Chain A
Amino acid sequence: MHWTAADLSSALRVVATQVSTKGAAGKPSTPKPPAARRPLLPAVLLKFVIAASSVLLVLYLVVHMLGNLQIFFGPENIDGYAVWIRTILAPLLGNEGFVWVIRIVLTLAVVGHIWAATLLALRAKKARPVKYAAGNKVKGSYTTRTMRWGGVIVLLFIIYHILDLTTGTLNPNGEHLAVWDNVHADFAPDRWYVTIWYVVALLAIFFHLRHGLWSATQTFGWSSNRREPILKAIATAFSGLLVLGFLIVPISVTFGWI
């Protein structure tokens, strides 16, 4: 530790102010004061918001992926599945009630996730007002560097995906609950660009999850030196399997396997 820094810097500062008043004639120079007010939420808590919301989102993705695989058991199966999930807890919540509960919870999770990430990104910008002339050469892996913009791609994809296969607005067939027909119309061979867009977006999700899953364990304080390589390997394998499970559907439809 530089215990003498306090004395040294205050001494230097006196000299510095004298020099600056002499040197900056006519041009008022205002050195930025350090953060004036305490941030409302500690950055550590914002990270918990990101990790906790991601747990809900990942659990949803797992169920979503397994549900999608019903398509390999034929049209009746996937269309029936779509009807069935709307009847879960119907006596309690009414028809579609369960689906709406899930939608609301997911929306809250996504909003919280993006809100906390945006706050952290804004704070990061403020924490380094002057950038490095030679660039910051200490870089994490590709996945850690693309979390923010990759996340934006994932968000755009989710919006497109909801308009495509939930509301049917952007779907050429677009008939409610006709899942088999909608999916086949969507990923028809002549609409190969839609399939490519889905593949690209799912790769973005893979990269986002690969770092995000391990990052959540670090945020909850479960990661350690010993566990880190194992946790990272599990995160990669899990995200890989999950994304493959999603990819297989549009690719199989485009290539006419189902």
Chain B
Amino acid sequence: MRLNLRVWRQKDLADKGRMVDYSVEDASEDMSFLELIDVLNEKLILQGEDPVAFDHDCREGICGACSMVIDGQPHGPQKATTTCQLHVRQFSDGDTITVEPFRAGAFPVIKDLVVDRNAFDKIIQAGGYISANTGSAPEAHSTPVPKAAADRSFAAANCIGCGACVAACPNGSASLFLGAKLTHLGEMPQGQPERYDRVVNMVETHDDAGFGGCTNTGACATACPKEIPLDVISQLNKDYLAATVRGKRRKA
């Protein structure tokens, strides 16, 4: 099948960038979207042109490396699917597909479709950890976790940190990512010692990075390839209120 691609090309951080039209004549419907760009790149390399740079790693939907906004939707039109797991059969012959990088001030474009997501690593450094002795694994039954808490924590831990929530949010907020990390650790007994410092530090780092503020539009949860539920943001708000207004934070 034949597909027309409108791809964002940007040489480097400083370049202004532009949309460039390409067409792929020999696309197979069994290709993943990343393979479609691989095919395009092979063609570009043969023509002596610069291939389209894009992030990818595992190509099985669990690493969070792939990004791209396809036709205005992060990770494309299919629900709960990362770009690497999106197949060309989701499109029809002759379609024109617009491919852009994730757009956020906190995610500067490095080249073409590759954005710098270091801001997420900084947020994790600010609180996405627990203090536990390493070495021998403790006896599992020594720390009971209620089933509901375990399930909720696990659902939040599905977050692969890809940044689709930021890309979809009309405010450019990373609150779903924040909420996912806070809920993931906050539902576990092991996450309690740092719980209220964690929320304040992570929220501060989030705002410092230049992400916008949440206004509960819910676009993040719709776009999330891992279906992180919107209520993790409710949890974030609740913990933040408890930490600041109710003074549960250990150090002020």
Contacts and interface: CB of A to CB of B under 8 A. Distances in A.
A38 B222 CA distance: 29
Given A38-B204, A132-B69, A44 B236 contact: yes
Interface string B132-168: 0000000000000000000000000000110000001
Given A5-B117, A43-B173, A220-B237, A20 B15 contact: yes
B222 A20 contact: no
Contact of A215 (B124, B171, B216): B216
Given A38-B204, A220-B238, A20 B214 contact: no
A144 B217 contact: yes
Contacts of A222: 234, 238
Q: How large is the interface on B (under 10, 10 to 19, 20 to 34, 35 or more residues)?
A: 35 or more
Interface string B100-125: 10011110101100101111110010
Contacts, number: 209
B215 A147 contact: yes
B104 A136 contact: no
Contact of A140 (B100, B117, B219): B219
A16 B213 contact: no
A231 B74 CA distance: 28
B61 interface: no
Q: Which of A34, A129, A228 has the most CB atoms of chain B within a 10 A radius of its CB? A: A34
Contacts of A91: none
A1 B171 contact: no
A47 interface: yes
B237 A19 contact: no
A9 to B, nearest CB: 5
Contacts of A220: 237-238, 241
Contact of B73 (A15, A35, A128, A138): A138
Contacts of B29: none
Contacts of B105: 32, 34-35, 126-129
Nearest to A137: B72
Contacts of B52: none
Given A19-B11, A128-B105, A221-B241, A138 B231 contact: no
A74 B72 CA distance: 56
B72 A47 contact: no
B213 A47 contact: yes
A59 interface: no
Given A1-B160, A44-B240, A133-B98, A124 B213 contact: yes
- The 9 A-B residue pairs with the shortest CB-CB distance, nearest first, are A221-B238, A43-B213, A127-B172, A137-B72, A127-B212, A16-B12, A35-B210, A124-B171, A134-B98
19 contacts: A1-B121, A2-B65, A29-B15, A35-B105, A38-B204, A42-B240, A44-B203, A120-B213, A127-B211, A132-B103, A134-B69, A136-B168, A137-B73, A138-B168, A140-B222, A219-B237, A220-B238, A221-B239, A224-B231
Interface of A: 1-3, 5-6, 9, 12-13, 15-17, 19-20, 23-24, 29-32, 34-35, 38-39, 42-48, 119-120, 123-124, 126-141, 144-145, 147, 211, 214-215, 217-225, 228
